[in-house]
């Protein structure tokens, strides 16, 4: 039975993009991929036409319709005003999971660690990458770290589903929840909850600092890793570096409706137009795309032909080494070598076998959010102020009243009033915690607003408030360090 071709959106990108995209589409075609590519323009030329996002409004129409995007690398012009196209596409299309396999191809490709085969599943939409930043005083700047329960559950569930579908044995979660007990703590808790539903897959947690160190020294101990956005970004580069696969890495950005596939590397302007670029990163991205659209059999044929090409020592210049390589090939000749080997298995490297079924999906499986009993019990008012903590404490105690009293002042998180230490370095940014005078009494928005008015009338400069809540009776705010 003939299968209808799946429409996909293709952007060649900049620099070496057109060369490697041509090579990849040629291999996909020869392998019998049932795809119908539609081409859109993105990147440098679009930026330079004055479109600061690097993508035209018309291109979104194709992306929304096909929901599958094979993207070449792009050049982000230097200088101000240009937004990262990757971030724009990821966030606009809700691509919450960044999936990056990192494999060492020892002894055929130079690498620090010979036996690595891991996958990093990085949360892609939340964390400090929401990019919500403010300067609040002469000295202090802030970046908000936003983490949601559905966001954590989607990525943790995706990691376990990915492990199940791909025959992986272990999922390791990495967070810094010994310090960020509320945000990273949520990620860790959700991970533990989701893990219980996958008893056949081992699950463990590591603090990100020791986890990253182990990744650099013992990467073969890892299988699937799931983590928050910033940690995942850093870990992906460590993993790519230790496997020697920066130029060979493919990556997938998966959403509940759309998905984007690309190489990990950039547009390599230094070798653009020379016909020597390695198309492998984009090819491995395209292989992930084929698995995603249910063409696992074609993906398997291409991947095994590629492994065979690599182990036969047919290499592009970037991975060529006289010790192990047999022949140095240009982009087109390398693509031809791969398609000549379609149908063959690697003999030394382990062959792959992708299931041909539906893509990994977590939709419809998320725990519904039940509104909790939420009670306001105080407020942290942040002040831009210069002076000594005890002076500020005395000033603010004057403003106690209307059911609220000052209970703590901290500076960059450390409690400095009451009973601070003279050695502590303080900036001009103070968190002033007010709670009910009467224990257990709730605090209204009006009380908070009138406190802000009293502060303003006293010549103080409130720059931000954070309300203190109990959720179902549990405090949902951190204590001051040393409190």
Residue 265 or 301: which CB sits closer to ligand NAD?
265
State in angstroms the smallest separation of the CB of 315 from ligand NAD. 11
State in angstroms the smallest separation of the CB of 316 from ligand NAD. 6
Residue 145: both structure tokens together: 């770290």
Residue 266 or 403: which CB sits closer to ligand NAD?
266
State in angstroms the smallest separation of the CB of 307 from ligand NAD. 18
Residue 227 or 245: which CB sits closer to ligand NAD?
245
Of the candidates 419, 408, 423, 417, the residue with the CA atom closest to the CA atom of residue 389: 417
Of the candidates 191, 244, 242, 233, the residue with the CA atom closest to the CA atom of residue 215: 242
Any idea which residue has 């959720």 for tokens? 471
Residue 74 or 102: which CB sits closer to ligand NAD?
74
State in angstroms the smallest separation of the CB of 302 from ligand NAD. 17
Q: Which residue is nearest to ligand NAD (CB)?
A: 266
DSSP 209-271: HHHHHHHHH-GGG-SEEEE-HHHHHHHHHHHHHHHT-GGG-EEEEE-SS-EEEEESS---GGG
Residue 13 or 420: which CB sits closer to ligand NAD?
13
Of the candidates 158, 94, 125, the residue with the CA atom closest to the CA atom of residue 229: 125
Residue 73 or 346: which CB sits closer to ligand NAD?
73
State in angstroms the smallest separation of the CB of 325 from ligand NAD. 14
Q: Which residues of 190-206 are buried (b: 16+ CB within 10 A; e: fewer)?
A: bbeebbeebeebebebb
Any idea which residue has 């409190």 for tokens? 483
Task: Give the H/E segment covering residue 445.
Answer: helix 445-457
Of the candidates 352, 362, 296, the residue with the CA atom closest to the CA atom of residue 168: 352
How far apart (Å, rounded) are the C-alpha atoms in residues 57 and 60?
Answer: 6
Ramachandran category for residue 472: left, alpha or beta (phi over 0 → left; psi -120 to 50 → alpha):
left
State in angstroms the smallest separation of the CB of 11 from ligand NAD. 10
State in angstroms the smallest separation of the CB of 144 from ligand NAD. 25
3-class SS of residue 478: coil
Residue 268 or 360: which CB sits closer to ligand NAD?
268
Residue 42 or 194: which CB sits closer to ligand NAD?
42
Given the rule CB under 6 A, which residues bind ligand NAD? 16, 20, 73-76, 86, 247, 262, 265-271, 277-278, 281, 318
State in angstroms the smallest separation of the CB of 131 from ligand NAD. 17
């Amino acid at each position: 039975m003939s299968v209808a071709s799946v429409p996909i959106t293709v952007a060649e990108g900049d620099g070496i993009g057109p060369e490697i995209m041509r090579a990849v589409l040629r291999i996909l075609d020869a392998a019998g991929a049932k795809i119908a590519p539609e081409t859109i323009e993105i990147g440098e030329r679009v930026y330079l036409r004055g479109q600061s996002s690097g993508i035209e409004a018309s291109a979104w129409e194709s992306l929304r319709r096909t929901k599958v995007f094979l993207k070449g690398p792009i050049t982000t012009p230097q200088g101000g005003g240009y937004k990262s196209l990757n971030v724009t596409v990821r966030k606009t299309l809700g691509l919450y999971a960044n999936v990056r396999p990192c494999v060492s191809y020892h002894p055929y490709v130079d690498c620090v660690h010979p036996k690595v085969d891991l996958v990093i599943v990085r949360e892609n939409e939340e964390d400090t990458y929401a990019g919500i930043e403010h300067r609040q005083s002469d000295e202090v700047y802030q970046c908000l770290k936003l983490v949601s329960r559905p966001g954590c559950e989607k990525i943790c569930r995706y990691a376990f589903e990915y492990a199940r579908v791909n025959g992986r044995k272990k999922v390791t979660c990495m967070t810094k929840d010994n310090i960020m007990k509320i945000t990273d703590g949520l990620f860790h808790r959700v991970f533990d909850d989701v893990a219980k539903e996958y008893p056949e897959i081992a699950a463990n947690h590591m603090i990100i600092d020791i986890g990253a160190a182990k990744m650099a020294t013992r990467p073969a101990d890892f299988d699937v890793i799931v983590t928050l956005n910033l940690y995942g970004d850093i870990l992906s580069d460590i993993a790519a570096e230790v496997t020697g696969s920066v130029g060979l890495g493919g990556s997938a950005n998966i959403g509940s409706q759309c998905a984007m596939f690309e190489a990990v590397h950039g547009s390599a302007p230094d070798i653009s137009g020379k016909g020597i670029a390695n198309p492998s990163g984009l090819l491995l991205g395209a292989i992930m795309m084929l698995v995603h659209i249910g063409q696992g059999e074609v993906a398997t044929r291409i991947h095994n032909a590629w492994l065979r090409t690599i182990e036969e020592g047919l290499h592009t210049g970037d991975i060529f080494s006289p010790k192990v390589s047999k022949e140095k090939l240009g982009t087109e000749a390398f693509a031809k070598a791969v398609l000549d080997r379609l149908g063959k298995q690697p003999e030394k490297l382990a062959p792959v076998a992708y299931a041909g079924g539906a893509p990994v999906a977590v939709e419809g499986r998320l725990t519904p959010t039940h509104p909790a009993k939420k009670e306001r019990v105080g407020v942290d008012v942040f002040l831009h102020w210069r002076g000594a903590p005890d002076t500020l404490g005395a000033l603010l105690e004057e403003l106690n009243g209307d059911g609220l009293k000052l209970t703590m002042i901290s500076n960059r998180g450390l409690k400095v009033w009451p009973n601070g230490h003279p050695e502590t370095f303080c900036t001009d940014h103070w968190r002033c915690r007010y709670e009910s005078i009467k224990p257990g009494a709730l605090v209204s928005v009006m009380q908070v607003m009138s406190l802000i008015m009293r502060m303003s009338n006293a010549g103080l400069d409130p720059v931000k408030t954070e309300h203190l809540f109990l959720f179902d009776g549990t405090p949902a705010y951190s204590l001051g360090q040393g409190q």
